[in-house]
């Protein structure tokens, strides 16, 4: 029974009906273009979550006192567009039940479904890649097309933080968005970037997505598409601490557990802090 419990996030002991937050995983990496394995990301994040104390000293809140649950993993279809539909349906149910969805990936494609279900005014993503391709490897629902599809979903304001990779056409498209490259963050500091973002979004609803590869691969190498010269784990934590109160949905995706656990550890702790801070400030 103890081993079975490890397939769920630590301290997620509330029954679904009483939960405010609902964690679920999408173990899918069907459009992987470099290193496969992000389908094992949700399990690795959950497993690492048992490493941490329930008490969060920054907030003074014990995570075990927050009403959240983990309903396990979606059983993904093979086709990425079908996975997007599955996620949209599930998030729609979670939202309809008056609960807050938290998704663990798996490849980034699943985020399109969550955004479709929640219809936020703003999409804020930390990502090494622009993901603005019209299609990649024959599908418009590749992990390299996520932000492009979210624009197509009608989201008004797009903010990309930490990008440092993309085609010439993608960078041209990004000029019409709110782009803060990894070099911008290094020059201005994450606090300066976040001030500009919060001034821009005001009280608008936000979907917040963290792609694990936003962080420099030298710090968290468990990635499907690693890129050097990226953000620091502390930058990601500051993003979550600042933006959690604005969020109507949250995910942490693209963890590929081929390292010694660093990448999953950061993901698990960021998810924990998100839950506590959202609970405390909303």
* Residues 238-249: b if buried by 16+ CB within 10 A, e if exposed: bbbbbbbebbbb
Rounded CA separation 86/100 (Å): 17
pLDDT score at 282? 74
Question: Per residue in 94-115, pLDDT tens?
Answer: 999 999 999 999 999 999 999 9
- All structural domains of the chain: 2-281 (3.40.800.10)
Residue recorded with tokens 């980034």 = 108
φ/ψ of 234, rounded to 5, equals -65, -30
With a threshold of 0.85, does the pTM exceed it? Answer: yes
In 113-246, where do the E strands start and end?
122-126, 157-163, 178-181, 206-211
Cis peptide leading into 106, omega within 30 of 0?
Answer: yes
Distance separating the N- and C-terminal Cα atoms of the chain = 35
Which residues of the chain fall below pLDDT 70?
1-6
In 10 A of CB 58, how many CB atoms? 11
**Residues in Cβ contact with 184 at an 8 Å cutoff, skipping those fewer than 6 apart:** 193
φ/ψ of 26, rounded to 5, equals -125, 90
Question: Per residue in 17-57, pLDDT tens?
Answer: 999 999 999 999 999 999 999 999 999 999 999 999 999 99
Residue recorded with tokens 């769920």 = 8
């Amino acid at each position: 029974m103890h081993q079975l419990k490890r397939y769920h996030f630590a301290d997620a002991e509330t029954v679904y009906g009483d939960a405010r937050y609902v964690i679920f995983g999408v173990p899918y990496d069907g459009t992987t273009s470099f290193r496969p394995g992000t389908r094992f990301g949700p399990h690795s994040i959950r497993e690492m979550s048992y490493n941490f104390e329930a008490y969060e000293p920054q907030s003074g809140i014990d995570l075990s006192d927050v009403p959240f649950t983990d309903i396990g993993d979606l059983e993904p279809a093979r086709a990425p567009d079908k996975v997007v539909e599955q996620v949209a349906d599930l998030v729609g149910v979670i939202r309809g039940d008056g609960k807050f969805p938290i998704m663990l990936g798996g490849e980034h494609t699943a985020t399109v479904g969550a955004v479709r279900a929640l219809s936020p005014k703003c999409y804020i993503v930390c990502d090494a890649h622009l993901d603005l391709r019209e299609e990649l490897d024959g599908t418009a629902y590749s992990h390299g097309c996520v932000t492009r599809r979210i624009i197509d979903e009608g989201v008004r304001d797009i903010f990309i933080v930490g990008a440092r990779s993309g085609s010439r056409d993608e960078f041209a498209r990004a000029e019409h968005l709110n782009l803060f490259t990894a070099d911008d963050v290094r020059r201005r500091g994450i606090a300066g970037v976040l001030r500009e973002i919060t001034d821009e979004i005001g009280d608008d609803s936000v979907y917040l997505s963290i792609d694990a590869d936003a962080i420099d691969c030298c710090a968290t190498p468990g990635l499907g598409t690693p890129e050097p010269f990226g953000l620091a784990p502390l930058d990601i934590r500051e993003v979550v601490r600042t933006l959690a109160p604005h969020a109507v949905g949250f995910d942490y995706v693209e963890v590929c557990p081929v390292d010694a656990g660093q990448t999953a550890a950061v993901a698990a702790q960021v998810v924990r802090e998100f839950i506590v801070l959202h609970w405390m400030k909303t």
